[in-house]
Structures are given as structure tokens and as C-alpha cells.
Structure 1
Amino acid sequence: MKQAYFVLVVMMLMGPYVMGNVSSQEKKVLIDLYSSTHGSQWKVRWDLNAPVSEWYGVRVEDGKIVSLNLFNNNLQGNLPNSLGNLSFLEELNLAFNTLQGEIPETITKLRKLKVLRLGKNQLEGEIPEEIGNLEHLSVMDMFDNGLSGNLPPSIGKLKQLKMLYLSYNALSGSIPKELVNLESLERLELADNMIEGELPNGMADLPNLKAMTLAENNLSGNIPEGIFTMPNLRLLQMQNNNFEAITDQITGQRNTQLALLDMDKKADRYEKNDFKDLFIPNATGTAETKFEDDDN
């Protein structure tokens, strides 16, 4: 009898873990998302009567929701403020949908988040000011939306950030000087915005940067000469800005690792045949962006 009672107590305490369920608070967040993004019209809908661990795109570990991947699933409408209550979430991929409205400020409460993909939607407003709170973030993708305003200086706190995709928005202001603190950054894509001013000092000191696309902005002034000899940089696209001519600078460099350099009309196109794993679509003028993460 005592043994049966002990088993019952353990099952009550461990129920969410054994049965693959989650807390009522986390489940409510998912229901909020389903309701606010017209879940009945999703390509793959949720059976709200089934365990949450069986819902499409939801990964549960130890009774906690750690991943929510609804890439290209016909989500429409606004993101709910309650998203910030998924405190164990490590991946949020809602790219290639029709989401509208602003990015909830509460998203900056997701302190365990490593991958944030909101690209190719219709989001508006500014990037949350405290985005730098996401200290574990390695991928931040908000490309091809209607985002406006300045790049928040707090981005400079994202010391683990490797991929920053913000091209094709309406961002303005200058590139914050804090961006040079991103020593893990490998890809920086800010093309086709309204960003102005000069490149901040230290841009040439980003040790792991492989691709930088700043084309179609209002950037001006001189380009730090060290950019052309950055040790890992292979792709540099800066055309259709207002930079000073750099033809003599680049043609005089013998130790550049660049495979492709696109500059303004004032400068020649510099090109080598060593493209390695880079792919540059002619129609977009920006490096290819991956949207599914196998290793994050």
C-alpha cells in the first residue's frame, strides 16, 4: 500500500516530464499564439486536445518548451505579448509567414534564446531596445520586414552572435559603435535600408567576419582600410552608398582574402574566382541566407 502511494506521489510530481506535457502557463502562450495568428488557417494546424509535445513545430524537453519552429506555416496577424513567458525557449523560428504589427518588447525576456528568426514577414515598428538582453543569441534574423528606427546600441551586448540579418527593412540612423564588440560575428547583412553616416571605428577588427553586405543605404565617408585585409572576410558588398572612391586602396592590396567586392560606381568591381561556400544571387545583391538551423 505504501509503495502504491509512493508511486502515485511520484507520478503527480513528475507528470509533466513523464507524459510530455508542459505547464499551464506555457500551454497558454501557445494557445495565445494560435489564436492571434489565425491557427485555423495554418498549413499544419495544432490539435489542441493532443499533448503539447505532439503539436507541430514544438519541441519539449523535461516538461519545458525549448523550440518553436513554425517556418513558412501561413501564420498571420500579430505576435502575442505572452511570448515572453516561454522562459526556457532556445529557438523561435517564425520566418516566412505573414506576421504583422510590432515585435513584442517581452521577447527580450527569453534569456535562453539562441536562435531568433522573424525574417520575411510584415512586421513594423522598431527592434526592441533591450534586445541585448538575449545574451545567448547566436542567430538574429529579421530581414525583409518593415522595421524602422535606429539599430539599438544594446546589440553590442550579444557577444555570442554569429549571424545578424536585417537587410530589406526601413532602418535609419547610423550603425551603432557598439556593434564592433561582436567578436563572434560571422555574417552582417544590413543591405537596402536607410542607414547613414560613416562606418564606426573598429569595424575592421571583427576577427571572425566572413560576409558583410551594406549595399543600398546612405553610408558615406571613408572606408577603414583594414577592412580589405580582414583575415576571414570573403564577401563585401557596399554598392549604392556614398563612400569615397577606394579603387586604389583595393588594387594595392596583395594579401586580401576577398572573393567578391562590390562598391559604388566610383570604384571598380573586384572579383576573384575563389568563392568557396559563398553564393551571391544576382537578383538580390546580398549573400544567401539560411533559414533552417541544423546545428543551433
Structure 2
Amino acid sequence: MTIKIWRSLLVILFFTTAAFAIPKAEKKALIDLYESTNGEHWKVSWDLSKNVSKWSGVLIENNHVTAITLFNNNLSGSLPASIGNFQNLRILNLAFNNVEGSLPEGLFQLTNLEVLRLGKNKLQGTISNEIGALKKLVHLDLFNNNMSGNLPENIGSLENLKVVSLSNNQLEGELPVSISNLSKLERLELSENKLRGDIPENISTLQGLKTLIIADNYFSNKFPSEILKMQNLEVLQIQKNNFDIRFSEDIASVETSLVVFDFDGNTNTSYNKRDLKDLYLDSNTRTVKTKFEDDEEN
């Protein structure tokens, strides 16, 4: 093989390697994630001797890590503090694993994050007010963990949110009125927590809302009938709360788009559910009974 060919091969190898080079801080954070979540025991593990571009679930664009998708991969242990090094990260999907501990402060430094999926793990602690820094967040999923404390009031500042999935935790306190600021919200799932107080009537201003699931909490007083009139609302589950069920008397006279409506009312009410076959129950419509049947990987 001539020297000219060798030089050509070396140039190709150099640019191929350089194309997948990432900052040292990001590579260290990946290794920290691997080590702190018992990477050797993942279903699909990483070979740390190979280039980062070969590590399963890691997406690199413009020499930065932009997505980490390790859904249902047998992760255990806790999230490392260095997770804040991924300043270009848009997707973090570690759902359906066994990650425990609290949410590290570095997580709230990922200001480009659009998808945060940590559902079906063993996380504890509170949702920090620092979550207000994640202005680009579209999908917030922490369902089926052991999260506690109040929902931060500034959650209403995350104006790009479309999905808030926080069911099956130990959250308490009242629902922040600021939720009504989430004009793009399509799914709000808060069932099986310890939330209490009144439902803010101004939730009815969220005209893009398709799913509202607040079953099995301690909400009380009259359920706002204006919510029943929301044009795009298809799934409403409010059973197992302390609502005054007399609001059900208004149901028959309300024009509604509801397809699934579960509440603790009189079974003889004149409200009739539409035929469920008219609702396409895909992964975007997860009811209380189907929340574990989530096989999305994004």
C-alpha cells in the first residue's frame, strides 16, 4: 500500500474520530452516569473502551451529547451531580428503571432540556423550585416514584409544557394556581397523591387540555363545572376525592367532548359516555388503569 493511500486513510480516520469527539466534561458525566447506575448490569451496557458514538442510547450532534435514552435498561443507583454538564441535552429518558435518591441540582441546569422522563423509578425528595429554569421543557414525567412535598408554584412558568405526568407519588398541598398559565398543556396527570384543596376554576382556560387525571387525592368542595365544557377534553378522572357530588346534577345539561369520565357520582345520572371505540387509546392517552403500559422510548 502506497504512502499516499496510508495518508488518505489516516485523514479519514482523523475526521471520523473528530466528528464524534465531545468535551471532556460531557464524557466524564457519561462515565459517571454509567458508574453510579451500575452500568455493568444494564440490559444493554456500554463498552467504555469504544468511542462514545458507539454507546447505546447516546445521541451526539455537533460534538455534543443531545439525547440520553436508557428506557427500561435496568439502571439502579442514583443520578450523578455531573449530569449538569450536558448543557446541550434535549432528551433525558431514564424511565422504567430502578434509579433512586433525589433529583440532583445539576438536573435543573439543563436549560435546553425538552423531555425529562424519569417515571417508574424509585426517586425521592421534592421537586425543587429550580425546575423553573427549564424553560424549554415540553414533557415532564416523574410518575410512579416516591416524590414528596408541594408542587412548586413556578411550574406555571414552564410555558412550553404539553405533558405533566406526576401520578403515583406522595405529593401534597394544593394545586398551584399558576398551572393555568400552561397554555400548551395537553395532559395533566396527578392521580394517587396527597393533593388537597379546591381545583382552580381557571384550569378551564387551558383549551388544549385533552387529559385531566386527578383521581385518588384529597381534593374537596365543588368540582368546577366549567372544566366539563372544555372543548378538547376527552379523559377526565376525578374519582376517590372529597368533591361535593351534587355537581353531577349539572352534567346532563353540559355540552362536552368527554369520552372517558370517571367520578363518584350517582350511577343513575343521565350523563352517557360516548362509545370508547371512538377514542384512539394510544400512548398519549394514559388513564389510571393503563399508566404502566407505557412503552415509549422518547
- After TM superposition, give the deviation of residue 273 of structure 1 in Å: 1.1
> Displacement of 1:292 after TM fit?
2.4
Q: Which residue of 2 aligns with 1:257?
A: 257
CA pair 201-75 structure 1, distance change in 2 beyond 3 A: same
**SS class of match (1:25):** helix
Q: Deviations over 1:174-220 (max 9, x none)?
A: 10111110000000000000000001131111010001000000000
How far 1:78 sits from its partner (Å)?
Answer: 0.6
Correspondence 1:102 to 2:102: yes
User: Alpha-carbon deviation of 1:277?
Assistant: 1.7
Aligned length: 281
Change (3 A) 1:240 1:21: same
Moved over 4 A (4+): 14-17, 265-270, 279-282, 286-291
State the partner residue of 2:4: none
* The 10-residue stretch of structure 1 (32-41 or 18-27) with the greater mean CA deviation from structure 2: 18-27
List gaps (5 residues or longer) in structure 2: 1-10
CA deviation string 1:18-61 (max 9, x = no partner): 43121110000001111111111111111111111110100000
> What's the counterpart of residue 278 of structure 1?
281
Query: More deviation in 217-226 or 268-277?
Result: 268-277
Per the alignment, in what secondary structure is the counterpart of residue 215 of structure 1? coil
Q: What whole-Å deviation, never above 9, does each CA across 1:90-119 have from its counterpart, x for those lacking one?
A: 000000000010011221110100100000
Q: Which residue of structure 1 lines up, in the alignment, with residue 203 of structure 2? A: 203
Cα distance in 2 for partners of 1:83, 1:224 equals: 41
| 1:73/1:287 CA distance change after superposition, 3 Å | closer
Is the helix fraction higher in 1 or 2?
2
Q: Tell me which amino acid in the other structure corresponds to 1:276.
A: L
Match of 2:296 among 279, 292, 295: 292
The 8 Å contact of residues 118 and 142 in structure 2, kept in 1 or not, is answered as yes
What percentage of residue pairs aligned between the two structures are identical?
Answer: 42
After the TM superposition, which residues 1-296 of structure 1 pair with which residues of structure 2 at under 5 Å, given as runs?
A: 18-245=18-245, 246-253=247-254, 255-265=255-265, 268=269, 270-273=272-275, 275-278=278-281, 284-285=288-289, 290=294, 292=296
Q: Give distance in 2, aligned partners of 1:125 and 1:16.
A: 43
Structure 1 CA distance, aligned partners of 2:296 and 2:290? 18
- Tell me the SS of whatever aligns to 1:148: strand
- One-letter amino acid of the structure 2 residue matched with residue 202 of structure 1: N
Tell whether the 8 Å contact from 2:59 to 2:66 is kept in structure 1 after alignment. Answer: yes
Distance 1:115 1:291, change over 3 A: farther
Letter in 2 for 1:271: K
Q: Distance in 1 between matches of 2:238 and 2:157?
A: 25
* 1:32 match: secondary structure: helix
Tell me how large the CA RMSD over aligned residues is: 2.2
CA separation of 1:211 and 1:113: change in aligned 2, threshold 3 A: same
Amino acid across the alignment from 1:272: R
Relative distance call for 1:146 and 1:285 in structure 2 (3 A) is same
Q: 1:123 aligns to what SS in structure 2?
A: strand
How far is 1:234 from its partner?
0.6
* 1:278, distance to aligned residue in structure 2 (A): 3.1
The Cα shift of 1:290 comes to: 4.6
Greater mean deviation of Cα atoms: 265-274 or 185-194: 265-274
